[in-house]
Chain A
Amino acid sequence: MDNSTVLPTLKKDKKESPASRILGKAGLYLILIVGAVIFIFPFFWMISNSLMTLGETITRQVWPKVPQWINYKEAWDGANFSKYFINSVAVTLGTLTGLLFTSILAGYAFGRIDFKGKDILFGLFLATMMIPESVTLIPNYLLIRGNIFPLPGGTWINTYWALTVPFMANAFSIFLLRQFFAQIPNELWDAARIDGCDHLRFLVQIVMPISKAPIMTVLLFGFTASWNAFQWPLLVTTRDTWRPLMVGLYGFVQEAGPYTHWLMAGAVITIIPILIVYFLTQKQFTQGIATTGLKG
């Protein structure tokens, strides 16, 4: 853009009248609101349809005349949702426990301890973030089936092990914690060491209590990743009783076919826990994302 075009707009801008300023602002709000409506509409549609009779979903009402809460009960009983729900909760809790254990220890070591091979190891970890699941999926499947080397208990297909262990460490969580741990002032460590603290005690008694925010972020990302997982659980569970919610919902969708009201009730059931966690912690969530800029 050369000056000849810049100058006129510049003059206009300076003499911007209050009326056009308000109009401009209204335009901005209009865009934001239209955006918000588009983003939220599918959720509204999900909820409203989940409360309709089948007839109402076909004639495409906007809101049910009488909310059919029974749909939720029917969907819940129709598929094995109570079992899926328990599985998802157990898998998520197990994964998170392992994830916290491995990533806090590794994050601390990479952030605060000097040891040989540290940089190479850290680089290796980071490189794994680029690898598509397509490449690791098939060997991992054979591994879990016990085909590559013998596993305790023979095969891990249809076990909690298969659903949790592979996700008990990831480079992203380690990276995130390392960044935070490395910033903790050295004076704290020196003081603790004079008092006879070793690394483990320093980590547990001093570092962890002041690192609640990044640990929380790791937990939140771990939670959504584990709760939303689909491809891997689909692969390593062959029996219905082992399936977590997402795979269960997928099976339910195949079966329920045209029964929109049940489908929507099922979908609502699967997202409620994540919505609760999100609304309770959304600030942490978006800040965690923004400061690390990394994908969960």
Chain B
Amino acid sequence: MESSKELIPTKSSSAFKKQARRDQITGILFTFPAFLIIFIFGIFPIGYSIYMSLFNWQVTKGPFIGDKNYLLIFGSWWNLLVLVAGLGLFVLGFFVWTRAFQSINNGQRLAHIAGALVLILGGVIFITGWGMMYETGNKDFLNSLIVTIYYALGTVPAEIILGLVLAYILYQDIIGKEAFRIIYFLPYITPSISTAVVFQIIFSSRETSLANTIIGLFGIDPLRWRFEPKPVLNLLGFDVSGLAGGPSLALVTIIIFGIWSFVGYNTVIFLSGLGNIPKEIYEAAEMDGASKWDRFWHITIPMISPVTFYLTLIGFIGTFKAFNHIYVMRTPSAQNTVVTTSLLVFDRFYKANQYGVATAQAIVLFVIILGLTLAQNKVLGERVFYG
């Protein structure tokens, strides 16, 4: 608007008012169609979910039961309070460790000791709260959170590291750069329902399946892959069982698919991030005699950290939302070891028709995602170098 004032100085102020009013109307008219759809299908449902979660809602609305659906998850509010208090102390401990007593001599050591104590205390209280919740709350839901965390920890770091390595190599003087990039991005773009079918065949429990043939070359007996609920550590000979023993082989198979389908996306984003690092910095470092490795470690890694941070965030949120390929790749015999929270919510709703319980679980999931996002912003965001 500023420049139009200069360009058209003869316009009277009433004409401007008219234009402003017209802008107001046009703005509202133009955004209205999008607003209508986003409001009805994106914003309104959140409120309605909260509403539904307060009722004994099977297929149709039943009586109002207040916090009962949430109590089914937590066992009691006291359990949740203990858990959150433990989490709060944990966060506090982290702050003490990094921040407190900076002004005092020897303050850092003091801060570390105090921080460590608070961290341990927070951890103990958190675990106590978790134990209490596990005792009286909804085990399926809590298990699904563990599965989701295994899935996230199994996929996100691997995707970040592989994506960065591939992007860094592609960023060098490489022949056929374009072709590699097209290939790497292919799994991300193709529908996961279709590609998951191939993985089902490759990782089938048949003795002659491709995966079993390949491990057979190394003298390993055929495995049941997608159908194996035992933890990987157990198969490696450790004496563990159940969810506490780490991800099951079935989940690991899904993790492999997850990594395969998502690395290409990270590679493309990293590649564009690398392109934004000024060449002069590398040249200066080279003149100072920094080796290739040093340049990667001391220039690329810090300069690319905002991208890394962004991808980590997107990755974690994505794993908490992930549905399609897990739904398609799961088998009944893998039991609950592959049921992430988003699958659990869907089953509660779609198979069990318990709409009230399902919405309550979905809202808890939403709060966890929000919390994770904030925490990552705080913890990782501080370490990010914005050049």
B185 touches A285 (CB 8 A): yes
* Bound-complex Cα distance A200 to B209 (A): 60
Can you list, as one digit per residue, whether each of B315-342 has a CB less than 8 Å from chain A (1) or not (0)?
0011011011001100000000000011
A231 touches B49 (CB 8 A): no
Residues of chain A with a CB closer than 8 A to B327's CB: 230-231
B28's closest neighbor in chain A, by CB? Answer: A115
* Bound-complex Cα distance A6 to B294 (A): 8
Is there a chain B Cβ closer than 8 Å to A215's Cβ? no
Is there a chain B Cβ closer than 8 Å to A58's Cβ? yes
Q: On chain B, which size bracket covers the interface?
A: 35 or more
Q: Contacting A42 at CB < 8 Å: which of B30, B45, B181, B260?
A: B260
Residues of chain A with a CB closer than 8 A to B209's CB: 60
* Bound-complex Cα distance A142 to B323 (A): 20
A residues 108-151 near B (Cβ < 8 Å) are 108-110, 113-118, 121, 124-125, 128, 130-143, 148
Given known A-B contacts A228-B191, A246-B193, A114 and B1 have beta carbons under 8 A apart: yes
Is there a chain B Cβ closer than 8 Å to A59's Cβ? yes
B324 touches A231 (CB 8 A): yes
Given known A-B contacts A132-B366, A228-B193, A10 and B373 have beta carbons under 8 A apart: no
Can you list, as one digit per residue, whether each of A56-75 has a CB less than 8 Å from chain B (1) or not (0)?
00111000000000000000
A residues 219-278 near B (Cβ < 8 Å) are 224, 227-228, 230-231, 235, 246, 249-250, 253, 260, 263-264, 266-267, 270-271, 274-275, 278
Is there a chain B Cβ closer than 8 Å to A79's Cβ? no
* Bound-complex Cα distance A49 to B201 (A): 10
* Bound-complex Cα distance A102 to B4 (A): 27
Given known A-B contacts A114-B27, A138-B52, A267 and B197 have beta carbons under 8 A apart: yes
Residues of chain A with a CB closer than 8 A to B162's CB: 35
A194 touches B324 (CB 8 A): no
B residues 12-71 near A (Cβ < 8 Å) are 20, 22-24, 26-28, 30-31, 33-38, 40-46, 48-49, 52
Is there a chain B Cβ closer than 8 Å to A31's Cβ? yes
Residues of chain A with a CB closer than 8 A to B370's CB: 130
Residues of chain A with a CB closer than 8 A to B7's CB: 190, 194
A109 touches B27 (CB 8 A): yes
B323 touches A135 (CB 8 A): no
Is there a chain A Cβ closer than 8 Å to B223's Cβ? no
Q: Contacting B33 at CB < 8 Å: which of A9, A169, A171?
A: A169
Is there a chain A Cβ closer than 8 Å to B98's Cβ? no
A42 touches B202 (CB 8 A): yes
A134 touches B362 (CB 8 A): yes
Residues of chain A with a CB closer than 8 A to B199's CB: 42
Q: Contacting B272 at CB < 8 Å: which of A249, A253, A291?
A: A291
Residues of chain B with a CB closer than 8 A to A152's CB: none
Residues of chain A with a CB closer than 8 A to B191's CB: 227-228, 230, 246, 270-271, 274
Given known A-B contacts A42-B202, A263-B197, A263-B201, A138 and B183 have beta carbons under 8 A apart: no
A35 touches B46 (CB 8 A): no
Most chain A beta-carbon contacts within 10 A, residue among B186, B213, B318 = B186
Residues of chain A with a CB closer than 8 A to B365's CB: 132, 134-135
Write the nearest CB–CB distance from A59 to chain B, whole angstroms.
7
* Bound-complex Cα distance A38 to B195 (A): 13
Most chain A beta-carbon contacts within 10 A, residue among B28, B45, B180 = B45
* Bound-complex Cα distance A228 to B187 (A): 12
* Bound-complex Cα distance A267 to B195 (A): 7
B320 touches A132 (CB 8 A): yes
Is there a chain B Cβ closer than 8 Å to A23's Cβ? no
B34 touches A174 (CB 8 A): yes
Q: Contacting B38 at CB < 8 Å: which of A31, A45, A170, A193?
A: A170
Write the nearest CB–CB distance from A141 to chain B, whole angstroms.
8
Q: Which of B82-90, B153-161, B263-271 makes up part of the contact surface?
A: B263-271
Can you list, as one digit per residue, whether each of B163-176 has a CB less than 8 Å from chain A (1) or not (0)?
00110011010100
Write the nearest CB–CB distance from A178 to chain B, whole angstroms.
11
* Bound-complex Cα distance A133 to B307 (A): 25
Write the nearest CB–CB distance from B354 to chain A, whole angstroms.
10
A138 touches B349 (CB 8 A): yes
6 closest A-B pairs by beta carbon, nearest first, are A115-B27, A290-B272, A139-B45, A109-B30, A106-B34, A13-B291
Query: B residues within 8 Å of A by Cβ?
Result: 1-4, 7-8, 20, 22-24, 26-28, 30-31, 33-38, 40-46, 48-49, 52, 162, 165-166, 169-170, 172, 174, 180-187, 189-195, 197-202, 208-210, 213, 260, 263-265, 268-269, 271-272, 289-294, 297-298, 307, 310, 314, 317-318, 320-321, 323-324, 327-328, 341-342, 345-346, 349-350, 355, 358-359, 361-363, 365-366, 369-370, 373
Mind listing 14 A-B residue pairs with CB under 8 Å? A28-B169, A31-B166, A45-B198, A113-B26, A124-B43, A130-B370, A133-B321, A134-B366, A169-B36, A230-B327, A231-B324, A231-B346, A264-B198, A285-B185
